[in-house]
Structure 1
Amino acid sequence: MFRLKLRDELGIIKRNGLYRFLRKKDRNILDFSSNDYLCLSKHPEVIEAVKEGLKYGLGSTGSRLTSGNINHEILEERLADFKETERALVYPTGYSTNVGVISSLCKKGDLILSDRLNHASIIDGCRLSRADVEVYEHCNIESLVDILEKKGRRYNNIFIVTDGVFSMDGDIAPLRDIKKVAEEYNGVVIVDDAHGTGVLGGGRGTLKHFNIKPSDNIIQIGTLSKAFGGLGGFVCGIEEVVEYLINTSRSFIYSTALPPPVVSGVLRSLELIEEGYLTKMLQENIRSTNRIFKRYNLIKEDNLTPIYPIILGKRTMEISEYLIKNGIFAPGIRYPSVPKGLERIRVSINVEHREEDFERLCNLLNKFGQTNNSIST
């Protein structure tokens, strides 16, 4: 019976055009899907650092509170300096960081205000907390203030949670305004800077981009799996936040720690990011992409981040398959990752892309549109 039930539900998913499957990526294909913005996952110096880290063994063999605390504190000290905060704490994944931080700090009797387009890991962290959750309109300060005016005064603590750079749209949260609102209502800002770290602010992230100095009421979350090219997540903030999470955050306490070789590799990634040249290269590629995409009418305004959503609607998956057959890997993004009607190809650029790569993508999209009359809904 259980098998039949699952088959029926899978059939519904397929009929709704939402069926997903795993696909192996051809190494020779031109990749516009990766979050490896600085191409550090395969940087020779990072690979060598990983090899050096094997002296500790393949795995950490336990949680951080048992046998798994090996070279992790070295990375945490470096991340705290990098983010200009008192302390940092490393988690096994970015997902577990958001879930663990939010569900630990936010409690029954508290209020969380969450941007409508926040990442799924933020949403799940909010659900696991016992706090009340209100969703404000995307990057809309008036919507945020309106909720606070109506409901904010009755809660013990207020948390405003937002992505720094939004993963599906590439736009940037208005952190200056959010910080002002948090100060006015005595709230705490939690920023998931997964797609901002290594990209904005000379690599230091969205706060640095806005010249916002870290303070007691700002908690920064990041990942080591995107611009760093590795695996893991981290949280940065005041001493008391980190100490509290070590003692209460279930996804930290009950997870096996990151493998030491990964920690060693990420440490070298951090050093390369701090040197600054990779971030400058990425920004140069963003400027090139802006120029070329504007010429092909794919964007109207310049991007500041390497994420370009090309909204294609119901034909997204067809166009994605067309690109793959022609040597470009740009998977379609559809519901529930994005709202219905806003299906898209999420073009993600990196430091190794060249102008001819952007031209090739644009020409293929143009060719598909000419052959099929239109690439829009």
Structure 2
Amino acid sequence: MSTTFAIDSLPNRIIKHDDREYLFFSGTAYLGLPQNLAFQQLLTDAIGRYGTVFGSSRNGNLQLSVYEEAEAKLAQFVGAETALTLSSGMMAGQAVVNWLRLGYTEFVYGPNAHPAIWNGPTVSLPIMPFADWVAQLPAQLQTIKPGPVAILLNSIEAVRSEYYSFGWVRDLPDDRPITLVIDDSHGLGVLNAGRGIWPQIAQKDTINLLVTASTAKAMGLPGGVILGTAETLKAIRRTAFFGSCSPIPPAYLAAYVQADVLYAESREKLRQNLILAEKLLMPTGLFTHASGYPVFFTDHDDLYPFLLEKGIFIYSFAYPTAADRANTRIVISAFHELADIQKLAECVYAYCF
């Protein structure tokens, strides 16, 4: 069982626990924006204008224009027609699922689909490699009665750091309405120059593509987003589920619209850090790693206590429930210095050799 730390400040490249310092290689702040002083200053300035929270429905008779401004900016950046923000990635996913249920839609899930896009508290997910799931998908669709179908899956195997191929989307059948829902929480802000999975998906007139994501990871914003067509997002916005949701605090979106330079700088810093991490860590043979993605997964769970003794804290706990097997991974962030990664590699080599 992994050792649990309790600290009293935001984790940065160094955390302190029981009067000892540890290099921190965990979390999901891939671009290091919550720790970025310039980003914090943008947020501080925005709080002076917008306060800490806007506890109102987005469908109310008083609107804050920063929501539409930020959503238009994010949609244009990604390449989607429009965007709709919510208070979390979980709420974004559930807003989509709630809307799909109104259309009596059949749900088909990919392996390890995130709970944010589950239709209910428990879902039977296929237990098979992604390529095998893709191969059997046409046969599975043929067994479903005529009518709307939603295919829901993740954009990447985020835990084991493996990319998914999406070439199969162009071959989906045209004999029924299909909504393709992709949770891109771990790709948005990082992959494809920050644009995430959207540019990789073949656009078909017969496929309604919706991408959901948490913005609390690489984007550094406590909220979530849905990307899709204006028609679909307008329909989602009309639901009681969306209308009753509190929105993301507006100050964060005000900071986002001013932070282009900071996002670009952080992506470049992360890119440089990953070049070194891939060069030093991958020859050990310990890790599964999707090139360009800031996660290095290992089946060697005893790497965690070994590195902890060396003053390095990495990710290692059961997820998504306490009943699941612990998974162990190293997470690289833009807040790391090259010397941190070199120290990490030295300790990993000591474990190996």
Do 1:199 and 1:279's aligned partners in 2 also have CA atoms closer than 8 Å? yes
Equivalent-residue separation in structure 2 for 1:74 and 1:301 (angstroms)? 36
Tell me: CA distance 1:145–1:213, structure 2 relative to 1, closer, same or farther (3 Å).
closer
Aligned to 2:106: 111
Query: Aligned-pair distance for 1:219?
Result: 0.9
User: Which amino acid in the other structure matches residue 272 of structure 2?
Assistant: E
Aligned to 2:44: 51
Query: Higher helix fraction: Structure 1 or Structure 2?
Result: 1
Cα RMSD for the two superposed structures: 3.1
Query: Higher strand fraction: Structure 1 or Structure 2?
Result: 2
1:290 and 2:278 are equivalent in the alignment: yes
Partner of residue 147 from structure 1, selected from 132, 140, 143? 140
Helix, strand or coil for the counterpart of 1:42?
A: coil
Aligned to 1:281: 269
Unaligned runs of at least 5 residues, structure 1: 1-16, 371-377
Runs of at least 4 residues of structure 1 off by over 6 A?
none
Aligned to 2:311: 327
Deviation per CA, 1:97-127, whole angstroms, max 9, x where unpaired?
Answer: 111212222357422211121222223xx22
Unaligned runs of at least 5 residues, structure 2: none
Identity %: 19
Do 1:61 and 1:67's aligned partners in 2 also have CA atoms closer than 8 Å? no
Aligned to 1:99: 94
Once the two structures are superposed, the pairs formed by residues 63-102 of structure 1 within 5 Å of their partners are 63-66=57-60, 69-70=63-64, 71-102=66-97
Once the two structures are superposed, the pairs formed by residues 1-377 of structure 1 within 5 Å of their partners are 23-24=6-7, 25=11, 26=15, 29-54=22-47, 55-66=49-60, 69-70=63-64, 71-107=66-102, 109-123=104-118, 126-127=119-120, 135=126, 137-140=128-131, 141-149=134-142, 151-152=143-144, 154-181=145-172, 186-208=177-199, 210=200, 212=202, 217-248=208-239, 250=241, 252-269=242-259, 272-273=262-263, 276-299=264-287, 303-312=291-300, 316=301, 319-334=303-318, 336-337=320-321, 343-368=326-351
State the number of aligned residues: 338
Equivalent-residue separation in structure 2 for 1:329 and 1:115 (angstroms)? 32
User: Which amino acid in the other structure matches residue 190 of structure 1?
Assistant: V
User: Which amino acid in the other structure matches residue 304 of structure 1?
Assistant: G
Tell me: CA distance 1:280–1:23, structure 2 relative to 1, closer, same or farther (3 Å).
same
Do 1:46 and 1:268's aligned partners in 2 also have CA atoms closer than 8 Å? no
Higher relative contact order (CA closer than 8 Å, sequence separation 6+)? 2
Do 1:136 and 1:143's aligned partners in 2 also have CA atoms closer than 8 Å? no
Equivalent-residue separation in structure 1 for 2:308 and 2:100 (angstroms)? 43
Helix, strand or coil for the counterpart of 1:159?
A: strand
Do 1:115 and 1:137's aligned partners in 2 also have CA atoms closer than 8 Å? no
Do 1:330 and 1:347's aligned partners in 2 also have CA atoms closer than 8 Å? yes
Helix, strand or coil for the counterpart of 2:90?
A: helix
Equivalent-residue separation in structure 1 for 2:110 and 2:78 (angstroms)? 23
Equivalent-residue separation in structure 2 for 1:186 and 1:105 (angstroms)? 12
Do 2:42 and 2:255's aligned partners in 1 also have CA atoms closer than 8 Å? yes
